[in-house]
A and B are shown apart, each in its own frame.
Chain A
C-alpha cells in the first residue's frame, strides 16, 4: 500500500517539494540582505526609544523591502496550492480514469485504502506547509517592524495556521473530487470554497474571536501630530476615532471634520483637541493575542477539514460511485 501511494503520487509530491523549495530559496536570497540591516536582530528595534542605527535601518527597510509585505499576500494561495493539488485528484482521478473499479476490487477494503491515502497525503501536505510557514516566519521577522501582525500579511502565513489551511484545502479537494468526479473541476470548486471560507473567517470572524480591547487616551498637547492606532504597529485596529468631553464617540465623517478643524491654522492639532477635551479612542486586538488567535483559527480549520473527511468516509462506505 505504501509503495502504491508513493508510485501513484510521487510526481505531485516532487512537484510540490520543488514549488516549496523554490519559494524558500527565493525568500532566503531576498531575506539575507534584509536581515543584514539589523545586525543586532530586528527585535532590538521593536521597542522605543530607537537608536540612530535603528532609525536609519527602518528607513532602508521601508524603502527597499516595504513592497514585499504586499507580495507576501500572494503566498496565502500556497496552502491551497499544496492541499488542493494533492487532495482534488485523490478520488477524482480514479473516478475519471475508471481505475476505481480496479483498485477497489483488490483485497484492500475501500475505507482502509481511503484512510491510508488521506493520512499519507494529508501528512505530506501539512509537512510542506510547515516548512513554508517556517521560512516565511524567518523572512518576515524584520518586516514586523512595519506592522501587520494579525492580518493576511503575517498571521495567515506564519505559525500553525498555514498547516490548518492546507489540511482544509486538502479535505475540500477530496470532497470536491468525490462530488464532481473530475480533477480539474474539483480543483476549481475547491479553490472557490477555500477562498470563500478563508475570506469570511479572516475578514469577519477573526476580529471577534475574543472581545476586543477599547482604549481611550487623552492627547498630550504639543506632541506634534495626532497619533493613529496604538503604540504597537502590529495590533489589529478594528475601529478608532474621537470622543468628546461628554463621552460621545465621533467616528467616520464627524471624525474627519473634527480633524480638519483641529488642523485649521496649520498649528499643532493636539493643542486644539486637548483644549476642547477631546480624546482618542481605539478598539483593537492586541498582538499579544497572536497565539490565542492562532489556536482558535487552527481549531476552526482543522475542525472543518475533519468534518469534510468524515463525510467522504461515510460516502465511500456506501459503494455507489
Chain B
C-alpha cells in the first residue's frame, strides 16, 4: 500500500482550497485516470457514492456530465466545464451542480478548479486548487462536504455493524 498522504491547505483570504497528492504511477497513467470517463467512474466518487458518466467531451468548451449516486438513491448531477487543457500538465475547469441534461443549477456555487500534473514514469504529483467566488461560497461547499462525509461515515458504520 502506498502511504502518499494528501496535503490540504486553505487560504481564506484568497478563497482557495489546495489539495496536493502523489501517486505511485506514471504521469501517463495518472493523466488518463483524471481525463477518461471510464477511469473516473471507477474512483471519482468518495465512498459509498459512485460516479456514472453520461457524456464526456474532454476538450476546451466541452464538458463532463456525470451523476454522483448515493447508496440510498440520492443522486446529484455534476458538470465539469473545460476552460483550458495543457496535455499531461494542467486542466482548468469550472465545476457546477446541474440537471440530467447539464443545465447548471444556480443553487450551488461555481468552483474554479486548476489541476496540475507533474511526474515521471514512476511517480506523479497532482496539485489541485479550488477557487471560490466568495468566502460564503467556500462555506457552502465545505459544509456540503461535511454533511456528505458525515453521511458516508454513518453508512460505513452501518455496513460494519451488519456483518
Are A and B associated in one complex? no
